[in-house]
């Protein structure tokens, strides 16, 4: 009998916070019938130098809560690999780690259309493009951004229509994003 091909999709981001645009991306990826797993990889972002506001732990928790509302197959693995490295990681290095750990036949890289537009400037872009197949999602379909959500929270506006319910509860319980930078 022929071995079934292992196809893994990687979806990375700062997820600060995870919102309905991200959820729509994962729903769409789960509809694709050839994926064995989807790996969601919250990025490490330096607390000193970047614009991430929630801690890595909180961003990771929010992703896990949101993913727990999705169907079980194909499985979505929320990985803390980049966060645990405690330093910014290039996507090409994450791809190398996925190859070593899962030995997939193919890797798909899931990107929103804005990230795709900057891909040529990424570290070792040519190598990266050689090693993955791209799945680009049009951001106009669910036009929401984490920046917009953080701005609304600062102005004490409701974000319930923009994030999964479990994420809204988490943000409200921990009073995340209520302080200006
Ligand atoms: P920020 O506003 O802080 O820049 P963001 O909303 O763009 O954040 P990220 O965590 O940076 O969210 O995005 C992770 C990945 O998800 C990227 O590939 C991005 O293009 C994609 N993405 C973000 N929002 C959407 C959306 N509404 N529809 C489709 N893809 C999205």
Question: 149 CA to middle of ligand 1, Å?
Answer: 12
Q: Tens of pLDDT along 2-36?
A: 678 999 999 999 999 999 999 999 999 999 989 99
Question: Ligand 1 within 6 A of 42 CB?
Answer: no
Report if residue 150 sits inside a domain: no
Our answer on whether the CB atom of 22 is closer than 6 Å to any ligand 1 atom is yes
Shortest-distance Cα residue to atom 15 of ligand 1? 13
Of 180 and 32, more confident: 32
Category of 69 on φ-ψ map: left (φ > 0), alpha (ψ -120 to 50) or beta: alpha
Task: Give tens-digit pLDDT for 53-72.
Answer: 899 999 999 999 999 999 99
CA separation for the pair 120, 138 (Å, rounded): 18
Residue 159 lies in a domain: no
The percent of residues in the chain predicted with pLDDT above 70, rounded, is 94
Among protein residues, the one whose CA lies closest to atom 22 of ligand 1: 112
Give me the percent of the chain exceeding a pLDDT of 90.
88
The secondary structure of 59-118 as a DSSP string is: HHHHHHHHHTTS-SSS-EEE--HHHHHTS---HHHHHHHHHHHH--SEEEEEEEHHHHHH
Split into its structural domains, the chain has a count of: 1
Whether residue 176 is contained in a domain is answered as no
Residue 174 lies in a domain: no
How far is CA 34 from each of CA 3, 31, 53, 56, rounded to the nearest angstrom?
A: 14, 9, 36, 31
Asked whether the predicted pLDDT for residue 180 surpasses 80, the reply is no
CA atoms within 13 A on the CB side of 166: 14
Q: What confidence score (pLDDT) does residue 138 get?
A: 96
Ligand 1: nearest atom to the Cα of 143: 27
What range does the domain containing 126 cover?
Answer: 7-143
Q: Which of 14, 20, 21, 122 most suits a substitution to test ligand 1, by most atoms within 8 Å of the C-beta?
A: 21
Overall average pLDDT of the 125-141 stretch? 97
CATH code of 108's domain: 3.40.50.620
At 96, is the pLDDT very low, low, confident or very high (cuts 50, 70, 90)? very high
pLDDT at 65: 98
Query: Does the residue 163 lie in any domain?
Result: no
* CB of 163 shorter than 6 A to ligand 1: no
Give the model's pLDDT for residue 3: 72
Does the beta carbon of 144 lie inside 6 Å of ligand 1? yes
Could you count the other beta carbons within 10 Å of the beta carbon of residue 172?
13
- Rounded to a whole number of angstroms, the CA Rg of the chain reads 16
- Answer whether 116 contacts ligand 1 (Cβ < 6 A): no
Residue 118 beta carbon below 6 angstroms from any ligand 1 atom: no
- What pTM was estimated for this model as a whole? 0.96
- Looking at the domain assignment, is residue 64 inside a domain? yes
Q: Is residue 173 part of a domain?
A: no
pLDDT confidence tier of residue 86, bands split at 50, 70 and 90: confident
CA 101/CA 2 separation, integer angstroms: 22
CB burial class (10 A; 0-12, 13-18, 19+) of residue 2? exposed
């Amino acid at each position: 009998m022929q071995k079934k091909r292992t196809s893994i999709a990687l979806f990375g981001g700062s997820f600060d916070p995870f919102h309905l645009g991200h959820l729509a991306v994962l729903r769409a990826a789960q509809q694709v019938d050839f994926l064995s797993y989807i790996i969601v990889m919250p990025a490490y972002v330096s607390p000193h130098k970047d614009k991430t506001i929630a801690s890595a732990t909180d961003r990771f928790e929010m992703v896990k809560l949101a993913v727990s509302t999705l169907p079980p197959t194909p499985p979505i693995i929320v990985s803390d690999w980049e966060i645990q490295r405690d330093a910014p990681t290039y996507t090409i290095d994450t791809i190398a780690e996925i190859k070593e750990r899962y030995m997939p036949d193919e890797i798909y890289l899931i990107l929103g259309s804005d990230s795709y537009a900057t891909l040529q400037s990424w570290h070792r872009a040519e190598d990266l493009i050689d090693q993955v197949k791209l799945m680009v999602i049009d951001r106009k379909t669910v036009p929401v951004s984490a920046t917009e959500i953080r701005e609304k929270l600062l102005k004490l506006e409701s974000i319930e229509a923009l994030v999964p319910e479990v994420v809204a509860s988490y943000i409200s319980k921990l009073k995340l994003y209520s302080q200006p930078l």
